[in-house]
Chain A
Amino acid sequence: MAGAYRSFSRLLSSRGPLGLLSLAGAGSLTAALLLHPHRERAVSAAEAGRRRYPASADYPDLRKHNNCMASHLTPAIYAKLCDRATPNGYTLDQAIQTGVDNPGHPFIKTVGMVAGDEESYEVFAELLDPVITERHNGYNPRTMTHPTDLDSSKLTSGVFDDKYVLSSRVRTGRSIRGLSLPPACSRAERREVERVVVDALSGLKGDLTGRYFSLTQMTDAEQQQLIDDHFLFDKPVSPLLTCAGMARDWPDARGIWHNNEKTFLIWVNEEDHTRVISMEKGGNMKRVFERFCRGLKEVERLIQERGWEFMWNERLGYVLTCPSNLGTGLRAGVHVKLPLLSKDSRFNKILDNLRLQKRGTGGVDTAAVGGTFDISNLDRLGQSEVQLVQTVVDGVNYLVECEKRLEKGQDIKVPAPIKTFK
């Protein structure tokens, strides 16, 4: 595929209110200037034209770095990609800035780069493909295809013992095709995302009927309620996110939508265009996943009615800001009480073999409290939503069984490792 040409034609055919796009080449490349009747002539940003130094002078010092970007960004790849830009003007330097600024930790390998728009994944494929392959356990975006399956009826045994499983949750993200992603979007694009999404959400009915709370306009009372419900998100403080430019113009065009029942929640313009979360107390993962799939499909239908679509392709599945969230972007998890199992020396091995990860109950980078853990799927790309949630269901059932056996003084077994897409 030719990234420039596909996005060109998509922009031409899209019914979204896009401005004009101009590509002008230095040298023999053709220039095309489109005039939209209601927009002014575009201005040249000249970003790519200003390189004063050879690539070797601009190549970042990554000797003390431990992230996926640093592992794969050779001087040769940098030289090849550093003068490129996506049609929106997003450059390699911008994509890797977060990884340059955050060297990482010897034990925790972060991704170290982001996408500024859908085209980033094509324009910077020489770097992003190996990063994706490393992060997603060998998934090769050049040769493999990602399965999407949001048919929740296929899920089996998805109801857990409430004595152990305190809550169940499934989250993912969705990006609106044709608009830049949080690291790169202008204020107008971000506001457009908000408008498109909020407009679509207002069409949800039944148990999905809900309301939008804009961060700039919410009242103190609304804010307090959202905090009490644990729904409110705050301006990112993590340098991984701020160095990628995702906090610009905060809190403009950011907000939270949730249904009246408080079981379906959407974050607008935080780390992705949208983050979609289905949850409830207790162990009925089947119902959580059913609502998740139904809600997502309904939102998709509503935006399509208005001429928009989600970013998706069969190589990468759903396209999101961070390469770690490609594919399904899905994290299905439970808060589960495993006081005995968690003290067993085989706990981590069991989790590994079940393709699960543990976190503290505050989410990523928090500690477990009172033997209660957040257990969720490790994988995102290469398996479908149904497959990943099934993995969590089967895995949690196994963990709870282990806990029960340990309670009775019985021994447990480490299960055989389950196969990933390989």
Chain B
Amino acid sequence: MSDKVDDAAKCMSKLTLTVNRRCVDDEYPDLSKHHNHMAKVLTKDMYARLRERVTSSGFTIDNVIQTGVDNPGHPFIMTVGCVAGDEETYEVFKELLDPVIEDRHGGYKPTDKHKTDINSDNLQGGDDLDPAYVLSSRVRTGRSIRGFTLPPHCSRGERRAIEKMSSEALDSLSGDLKGKYYALKDMTEEEQQQLIDDHFLFDKPVSPLLLASGMGRDWPDARGIWHNNNKTFLVWVNEEDHLRVISMQKGGNMKEVFARFCTGLTKIEDLFKQHGHQFMWNEHLGYVLTCPSNLGTGLRAGVHVKLPNMSKNPQFEDVLKRLRLQKRGTGGVDTAAVGGVFDISNADRLGFSEVELVQMVVDGIKLLVDMEKRLEKGQAIDDLIPEQK
């Protein structure tokens, strides 16, 4: 290699880089046909101000909004249209993210405080949802490890470090939480098949919402699945967030599911702290995750419930809205219900504590099952219609 190229190389090494700048009119994205929260909020003037900023890991406004530019969205389903690349994103780009958060999370203000409560003793009832209707119960959330950048932005080195720390922490769980980690790139055919049969295996994201933000890079490096031997506590590593934590079981004992959820999360957090790490959290946004829609609790507590009659009732949507619940098909988000079985879960994430949200689900499902039973008998449900929560 010639000396001159070496000189060029030395100049290139460790440069603080500067972006070749053009005027805002030329850089501002065309959002005229877009329907997402980012597009609603990001004016040209706001873009002009935000492109002057960058987080200390190098995440820019263009990085934040790329997924929303590439995915115009749909007038009926408002996606968020922006992501965080690190914890700082929510501060550095707050001019965009605060109004997005407010719009997405039911009027949550920049000055509001979020309550965290993962003490499952505070949940009332929830151990007796009728298993003839409630087929399974599940609670999930996400956690991010402070000091590391998030999936849209992380390097391979960071992602691997997260995997290593997480699998080591999980390996030291004991009792009913004792389990095993399966790295996506090392698992055997048999292990893979078992994970598929258990409905635990996650695949490379195909949704353009996720791919456009760079979360699929380097797949399947440093991605994996941990679960306990009982198959009731599951952790996804480096999928859409650093960690996705899931507690589940068949039947309607949401109380037990939530208790294991809280115990497991607390133990994991303690293990991380022992090694000098903590989860990303603050008193305004709660737990910090990649997508602004998952801030606060990041919690989705839900059941698969048979509501063949109720789901055909014209008041179904309205009742769900009043109960602050949402429905999905049993394949998860953006799937259809099969055989009258729905996935019903809390609609909120931020502004309510974990206990409050699970309580809403428990109370709401009880009511929906009561309504279903009434409709089965051909009776009216008008007296059961709840107030707006």
Contacts and interface: CB of A to CB of B under 8 A. Distances in A.
B333 interface: no
Contacts of B16: 24-26, 44, 46, 48-49
A188 interface: yes
A280 interface: no
Contacts of B52: 40, 43
B202 interface: no
A221 to B, nearest CB: 19
A325 B8 CA distance: 25
Interface in A89-116: 89, 93, 97, 100-101
A247 B71 CA distance: 11
Name, among A52, A180, A248, the residue most crowded by chain B CB atoms within 10 Å (CB to CB): A52
Chain A interface SS verdict (over half): loop
A126 to B, nearest CB: 7
A123 B19 contact: no
A226 to B, nearest CB: 20
B13 to A, nearest CB: 5
B9 interface: yes
Interface in B21-39: 21-23, 26-30
Interface in B6-58: 7-23, 26-30, 51-54, 56-58
Nearest to A44: B16
Nearest to B16: A24
Given A4-B8, A216-B30, A249-B69, A49 B217 contact: no
Given A2-B8, A125-B5, A61 B185 contact: yes
Interface in A169-205: 180, 186-189, 191-192
Contact of B8 (A5, A24, A51): A5
B29 A123 contact: no
B312 interface: no
B156 A19 contact: no
Contacts of A191: 26
Contact of A252 (B9, B30, B156): B30
A307 to B, nearest CB: 16
A134 interface: no
B54 A88 contact: no
A46 B58 contact: yes
Which range holds the interface residue count of chain B? 35 or more
A40 B14 contact: no
Contacts of B160: 57
Interface stretch (A78-86, A295-303, A335-343, A391-399): A78-86
A42 interface: yes
Contacts of A4: 8, 11-12
Nearest to A117: B20
A122 B5 CA distance: 8
Which range holds the interface residue count of chain A? 35 or more
A64 to B, nearest CB: 8
B158 interface: yes
A39 B9 CA distance: 28
Contacts of B11: 2, 4-5, 23, 25, 29
A158 interface: no
B115 to A, nearest CB: 33
B326 interface: no
A57 B17 contact: no
Contact of B157 (A27, A53, A61, A242): A53
A49 B14 contact: yes
Contact of B161 (A20, A57, A80, A249): A57
A416 interface: no
Nearest to B66: A248
A83 B14 contact: yes
A419 interface: no
A54 B158 CA distance: 11
A46 B7 CA distance: 21
Given A2-B4, A53-B155, A101 B21 contact: no
Contact of A2 (B7, B30, B216): B7
A46 B212 CA distance: 22
Nearest to A190: B26
Contacts of B20: 18-21, 42, 87-88, 180, 186, 189
Interface of B: 1, 4-5, 7-23, 26-30, 51-54, 56-58, 60, 62, 66, 69-70, 155-158, 160-161, 185, 211-212, 216-219, 221
30 contacts: A1-B4, A2-B5, A4-B12, A23-B15, A25-B11, A27-B14, A42-B18, A43-B53, A43-B54, A44-B18, A45-B17, A45-B58, A46-B54, A48-B16, A50-B57, A52-B155, A53-B158, A57-B156, A57-B157, A60-B218, A84-B12, A84-B15, A89-B19, A101-B216, A126-B1, A180-B20, A186-B62, A192-B26, A243-B216, A252-B30
The 10 closest A-B pairs by CB, nearest first: A53-B157, A188-B26, A57-B157, A188-B22, A22-B18, A19-B21, A84-B12, A89-B17, A58-B157, A2-B8
Given A20-B20, A44-B16, A123-B8, 8 more contacts: A19-B20, A21-B18, A44-B17, A46-B58, A88-B20, A126-B1, A189-B20, A216-B30
